[in-house]
Structure formats: structure tokens, C-alpha cells
Amino acid sequence: MITTDFDPGTPCWLDLGVPDVPAAAAFYGAVLGWDYESMGEGEDGEGGMFRKDGKIVAGLGKLTEEGARPAWMIYYSVVDAAATTQAVERAGGTVRVAPMDLDGWGFMAQYTDPSGGQFAVWQPGKSKGVELVDQPGSLTWTEFYTSDAAAAKEFYTGVLGWQFSDTEMPGGGGTYSLITPAGLPEERMHGGLVELREEDLALAGGRPYWHPVFAVTDCDAAVAKVTENGGSVQMGPADAEGVGRLAVCLDPSNADFVLLAPSES
């Protein structure tokens, strides 16, 4: 489970880059009940924060990188962003954004792993990260699609110290690798890694990619909101034994995310 303790190696922040900030704010407001707070000039600005019940759950910004696809960026908490950057480079990754101090709130850096998957880290300052997780309308899981699970495990273990445990997916769907931060018990697992064929990664042009999983109370109702508000559904809603009812969705800009109504324990 994801918590706001934000131990090293755990997800602590996420933000969405899209070409149309007001449209994204309206979409996620309708689907997840988020309120948007602009941080720029004017009502819309160039970006801001999403809140759920007054608590920050994510960031939103205008996509400015040439050739980049609209997507969610997931940040993992680290003790030292500069040291993590060195570890990324030693492991064959590249630095997209070098560690930068955001006015004392913390240091952020963004990377690309050797296979092309993009992720980010956050070294806490005044802010540790989002204020609400593992509740309806907030981040509850992270997931990585890759065509080379072994290489991904080696890279992320070296950079973030993750532990992996494998389980077979129902119906012969392959292996699902559960991710737990170093030194934490399995109940603190925060994500999963799935190996797919390269042709199944068309959304990112054949490259691996991360996406967030958001908790909802009613998956079918949330999916209806997705389609009513210009999004689409790639898979589901479907029941996953021991997990819950889920659907893989795209927002109107084609940024991917998952909706999950968790099973009652």
C-alpha cells in the first residue's frame, strides 16, 4: 500500500503534462471529483494542483517538451537527488531534468531508464509530496509496462533499491512482478511491473511507460464518467481476483491511467 510516510523508494508525487490544462482539469474533476487550483496568472494559468477534499493529490501542467506525449509522471522519494542522478547514469539511464531546487520545497529530477521509460524523483524539503493516497480519488498503485522485465528490475533495483516478488497472473496472462521499497515489508508494496510485447506498447511508440492507478468506490460509474467526458477505455471494467474491479483508461489527450475499486479485505 502507498502511504504518506514517503519512505525512500516510495511514490510521493505525480503530475500530468497535457496540451490543454483547462480541459484536463475539467475531465479529472468529473471523473475523480478533483478540484483544480491554478498556480499561474488567470483562472487557467499554465498549471496548478489537484485537490480532493482539500488535500493535494496531484499536479497539472502544460506540455511544452517538443515531441512528448501527454502522460502522467510519477515521482519517487529519495534521500539525495544528486546521488540518485549518479546512480541513474551508472546504470545506463539518462538525465532529462537535472536535480533542481524548487524554492526550498524540495529537489526534483527526471530521468529516462535505458529502455526509454520515464520517471522522476523528489528529495523532500518543506514538502514530502501529495497529501492524500490510498483513498477514493487518489493514487493507490503504480504500474510499469515494459518489453524487458529482467532489465527493468536490474535498473530500478540499482537506482531505487526496490525488491521484486513475482506472481502468476490469472488465466495464463504471464508474470506480474510486485514492487516493494528496500527494507520495507511486503504490505508496503506500491506497484507492479508487467512484461508485454513491444507491439503492445504502441501508446508510447513501443517504449516502456509508467502509469498511475487511482482508487475509486465504483469502477463502472467512474468509467462512465470517463467516456461521458471525452476519455476512452482500453480495457475493462473487469474483475481481478484478490485485487478488485479495474479499467485501463485514456483521458481526452490520450494520457493513460487505471481506475480501481479495491476488493474488500
Residue written as grid cell 506480474: 176
Note whether residue 2 is domain-resident.
Answer: no
Domain assignment present for 111: yes
Same domain as 249, residue 144: yes
* Residue 166 burial (10 A CB sphere; 0-12, 13-18, 19+): exposed
> pTM (2 decimals)?
0.94
Do 155 and 226 lie in one domain? The reply is yes
Within 10 angstroms of residue 86's Cβ, the number of other Cβ atoms is 13
Range of the domain at 48: 11-124
Same domain, 51 and 118: yes
What is the domain count for the chain?
2
Q: Cell 529537489, residue?
A: 107
In this structure, the answer to whether residues 151 and 81 fall within a common structural domain is no
Domain for residue 98, yes or no? yes
Q: Residue 47: which CATH number?
A: 3.10.180.10
- Please identify, among 124, 159, 188, the residue that sits at the C-terminal boundary of a domain: 124
State whether 42 and 73 are in the same domain: yes
Rounded-to-integer distance, Cα 18 and Cα 40, Å: 15
Which residue, of 69, 91, 124, is where some domain finishes?
A: 124
Strand order in the sheet with 106-112: 35-38, 47-52, 55-62, 11-18, 71-77, 118-124, 106-112, 94-101
pLDDT per residue as tens, the chain (265 positions): 899 999 999 999 999 999 999 999 999 999 999 999 998 654 555 789 999 999 999 999 998 877 889 999 999 999 999 999 999 999 999 999 999 999 999 999 999 999 999 999 999 999 999 999 999 999 999 999 999 999 999 999 999 999 999 988 766 668 899 999 999 999 999 999 999 988 889 999 999 999 999 999 999 999 999 999 999 999 989 998 889 999 999 999 999 999 999 987 5
| Domain limit, last residue, from 91, 124, 157 | 124
**Spatial contact of 146 and 208, defined as CB atoms under 8 Å apart:** yes
Q: Same domain, yes or no, for 197 and 161?
A: yes
Q: Report the alpha-carbon angle 14-121-189, nearest 5.
A: 75
Write out the three cell numbers for 40.
499561474
Amino acid in position 129: G
Together in a domain, 94 and 159: no
111 and 221 part of one domain? no
Q: Give how far Cα 227 sits from Cα of 234, 245, 249, 257, 261, Å.
A: 11, 17, 9, 14, 17
Same domain, 42 and 74: yes
- Is residue 147 located within the same domain as residue 55? no
1 in a domain, yes or no? Answer: no
Shared-domain flag, residues 158 and 104: no
* Residue where the block lists cell 488567470: 42
Whether 150 and 249 share a structural domain: yes
